Amino acid sequence: MTPPNPPFPTQIRPYGKAAIDQAARLIGEGLPVAMPTETVYGLAADATNPQAVARIYEAKGRPSFNPLIVHVRHLDQARQLGDFTETVLKAARHFWPGPLTIVVPRKGDAIPDITTGGLATVALRCPAHPAMQALLEATGRPLAAPSANASGAISPTSAAHVLQSLNGRIPLIVDGGDTERGIESTIVKFTDAGVVQLRPGPLSIEEVAGAAGVPAAEEPGRGIQSPGQLARHYAPSKSLRLNAVAAEPHEWMIGFGEIQGDDMLSDDGNLVEAAARLFAALHRAEASGKPGIAVAPIPHEGLGLTINDRLRRAATRENSRR
Ligand code: TXA
Ligand code: MG
């Protein structure tokens, strides 16, 4: 039912015009490319293209749709995608381009839910590395880029690390040598109380607080949030039944492959397409007149593991504490 993934002979090319041109072409085709940044190598894809983002998850074998960092060329591009207060602008102007990721409310609908894990916020970062800057310029797109390693492996700081982890799963690694910082960017968000660190990184929270002119704050009762532990993913308010072969009368059916529905994740059982359509399908189900939602079985393999994880969370409403 699921077509086999296309095999990718993984090429490594030294950073230069030819490599960036090829990378930009691949990004335009909706494929992910490994790129050096000043922190770690990232697996970049067009952040506005749900299928391209689904292929990031597929290549990494990520067990769940963690929200991804969206890389931008400059502050102007960032301001099209997120809402910036004066304080946040101060921090961005001070540290960008550089290893600071800022979580802000999403603005507009250019960034799909699969990129943000369905959150109402988006994590934005303007990278300093010339290769990533060149790719942002060549594509004109914001680029989603998690660290370029298979899920569970450590973050890559050289092209050789990326190859070890993702050989055969991605078409291209742009080799920019060893990364300068070697650890992932500091992630912060700003609240009324000040700036909150969501992930430690090359910049200390005190530095960020100082530049923005606000105190370093902690989320009340939460302490430091480690990456991947975000609770507030999109969860439907309706009951969700998994592995359904047919809808009950009160249910909106989300089909897959041979199992037909009011809506289809993929007619031909393609998991990349299904992942790309998942969040939008849940939104349509939520908006439908039916009080319940049923979802066809999704094969428990490859990207299907990620889709099933997301569906299980939505079904148990583990995340409905808001
Ligand atoms: O240095 C870096 O940041 C590297 C390079 C490639 O830029 N990227 C990176 O991405 O580390 P990734 O996907 O491995 O880490 C993303 C983390 C998630 O685990 C999550 O904790 C946080 O960013 N994140 C993303 N969106 C968020 C959001 N809307 N709210 C809070 N945290 C978010
Ligand atoms: Mg990572």
Name the band, by pLDDT with cuts 50, 70 and 90, for residue 6: low
Number of H helices, E strands in the chain: 10, 15
**pLDDT tens digits for 135-193?**
999 999 999 999 999 887 788 999 999 999 999 999 999 999 999 988 899 999 999 99
Say what the pLDDT of residue 183 is: 86
For ligand 1, is residue 69 a contact (CB within 6 Å)?
yes
Span 266-309, pLDDT tens digits: 999 999 999 888 888 987 898 899 999 999 999 998 889 888 88
C-beta 115 within 6 A of ligand 1: no
CA-nearest residue for atom 18, ligand 1, is 227
Ligand 1 centre to CA of 296 (Å) is 31
Which pLDDT tens digit goes with each residue over 64-93?
Answer: 788 999 999 999 999 999 999 999 999 999
Q: How far is CA 277 from CA 122, 232, 270, in A?
A: 19, 20, 11
With the CA atoms of 59, 141, 119 and 217 taken in that order, what torsion angle do they form, in degrees rounded to the nearest 10?
110
Q: Measured over all CA atoms, what is the biggest interatomic distance in the chain, rounded to whole angstroms?
A: 59
pLDDT digits 0-9 by tens, 207-235: 999 999 999 997 654 544 444 444 334 56
The finding on whether 66 has its CB within 6 A of some atom of ligand 1 is yes
Distance in Å, CA 94 to ligand 1 centroid: 20
Share of the chain above pLDDT 70, in %: 91
**pTM summary value:** 0.86
Question: What confidence category does residue 116 fall into, taking pLDDT thresholds of 50, 70 and 90?
Answer: very high
For residue 283, what are the contacts with CB-CB under 8 A and spacing of at least 6? 113, 234
- For the CA of 199, the closest atom of ligand 1 is 21
Cβ atoms 39, 128 nearer than 8 A: no
In angstroms, the CA 123 to CA 82 distance is 9
Name the residue of 101, 114, 136 whose CB sits within 8 Å of the most ligand 1 atoms, as the mutation to test its pocket. Answer: 101
